[in-house]
Amino acid sequence: MSFITYVREINLEAKEIRIAFAICLIFITAFGVSSASDKASATLNGVYQSNGVNIDLDSFFDTIDVKVGVSVKDSGVYKVEGTLSDADGNESRTAFNKTRLNFGQRYVVLRFFAVSHSGVFHLRNLTIYDSRGEKVDHRDEAYTTRNYPYLDPDPQIARLTGDYADQGVDANGDGKYEFLTLDVGVNVLFPGQYTLTGYLHDLKGSEVVWSVDKGVFESGYQTMHLVFDGASIKKHGVDGPFQLRKLILAGRNMSIDEALSHACNTSAYKYADFAESAMPKKNDLISGMGLGEILLTVSIIKTVPVFSGSYSLDVTGIRIPPFSSSFNISSPPINRNLSGYAYDTEGIYMPNMPNNFSISADRVKSLNVGLKKLQGSYENSDNVWKGKFTRIWVSSQAVADDQGMAKIESYLISPGIYQVKIFGDAADNSTNVDLVMTLVKKLVINGRFSLDINTTGFPPGNYTITAKALNGYFNMDELAIKGLSVAN
């Protein structure tokens, strides 16, 4: 090989090296610009603020909210994630917030649930990710909060997961749906007792039926069940799909953890596929003349089927107290040790106590009762009850005794027309559950009296109505109650 040829080969290789180097430089520069652009798209600006939040209104903070300042160069979706740890390392909570941030100085709130150890906390491992999941800024030690001495040692916090599933239930095998069940996913952040209420609406927005569930849950993913009365769907007379609206998840003391105005739509159902209501109107009369006190007891025994280990019964349109006779209502005076409501009509005075409404269940593990008071007044009362909104009361869960019996009672139910939801877990291997609803009221008689007992809305079953004379003298000259027994 000649010297000239060798030089040319060297020059050619050098030229190729220069081209390759230039290409590498372009890639490196491009990568550097892209990386710098990603890192500069949003940065932590060092501005922080913490705040305790009392969700259940019990004088304790249930969460610590930390505002994280972010300088945004390129508008887009970002995820901010961090860990909050106490000074002693007793507990650590992680939170993230993925949201769209526009150009400028912005902030993102990280909500740390169920922090129960009081004291000062450290925000660590604070990171921003862009929409591609790439890290654009990070702080190992970002912020130290102020001291929080009033954190809830037993918070009850849960969140809806957005998971829903519905199905029709033929509980007695007659080919009709007695219930429409809707399973709702719940992420329990801290163990406790939770209540879920929801309403079915048709696609035109009219309310069809309501339901409630209550249970004690451990941390983690759980499923709560809304069991809607099939007879109410049949009576409404509109085909599905139905909308699940006004879905409310509540923790301790019925404090709202989460509420959705519209949660989901069910599958399509025909209203004709649901069971008919079998709740005839019943009016019974007790009358006579006398002077003294009578204890009136009305009991209804109803057997309901068990499905998937649970039982449920809807009682719609019942009157408390169950009278058609006109009467006046008086509530207990303020700062007096009286319970319940007093009533009076011609010849009869019904004092505040006893004024007992109880429900018991046999062959069960638990019992829950939900009461929904309908809007408006009790139309048969001379003292108009001017309620302008629907009221809901849900009992604490009653756990059955060793014999499988559970009972719930109240003396404080205000007069009105109610829908009642009775539900719970049945005992193992139970195929049906016996429910007993009992109303007890004392009557103070003074002369001629007539009382029309109205059991409209109560389910068909075995009825027992007893009037026991506690003292005095009575001439019961009109007894029109089937099965009435009078004990003197």
Residues 214 and 124 in one domain: no
Query: Mind listing the pLDDT tens digit for each residue in 43-91?
Result: 999 999 999 887 666 677 878 899 999 999 999 999 999 999 887 777 7
Q: From 245, 273, 301, give the residue that closes a domain.
A: 273
**Is 70 exceeded by the pLDDT of residue 194?**
yes
Residues 130 and 183 in one domain: no
- The answer to whether residue 251 is domain-embedded is yes
b/e map 236-247, b = 16+ CB within 10 Å: beeebebbbbbb
Average pLDDT over residues 357-378: 82
Beta partners for residue 180, in sequence order: 168, 228
Domain of 233 in residue numbering reads as 158-273
Could you tell me how many helices (H) and strands (E) the chain has, helices first?
A: 2, 28
Residues 262 and 288 in one domain: no
- What CATH number does the domain containing 173 carry? 2.60.40.10
Average pLDDT over residues 169-175: 87
Instruction: List the structure tokens of 485.
Output: 């027994």
Residues 86 and 193 in one domain: no
Mean pLDDT taken over the chain: 80
Query: Mind listing the pLDDT tens digit for each residue in 418-476?
Result: 888 999 999 999 999 999 988 888 888 888 887 777 777 777 777 777 778 888 887 76
Q: Please tell me the least confidently modeled range out of 130-139, 222-231, 235-244, 438-447.
A: 438-447
- The answer to whether residue 173 is domain-embedded is yes
The Cα–Cα gap between 253 and 41 comes to: 45
Give the closest residue to 292 by CA, choosing from 464, 477, 471, 168. Answer: 471
Give the residue with greater pLDDT, 403 vs 38: 403
**Is 60 exceeded by the pLDDT of residue 284?**
yes
- The answer to whether residue 63 is domain-embedded is yes
Q: What pTM was computed for the model? A: 0.61
Q: Which pLDDT band holds residue 115 (cuts at 50, 70, 90)?
A: confident
Residues 438 and 297 in one domain: yes
In total, how many domains does the chain have?
Answer: 3
- The answer to whether residue 26 is domain-embedded is no
Q: What per-residue confidence (pLDDT) applies to 279?
A: 54
Residues 98 and 230 in one domain: no
Residues 226 and 117 in one domain: no
Q: What per-residue confidence (pLDDT) applies to 353?
A: 73
The Cα–Cα gap between 42 and 104 comes to: 9
Q: What per-residue confidence (pLDDT) applies to 407?
A: 94
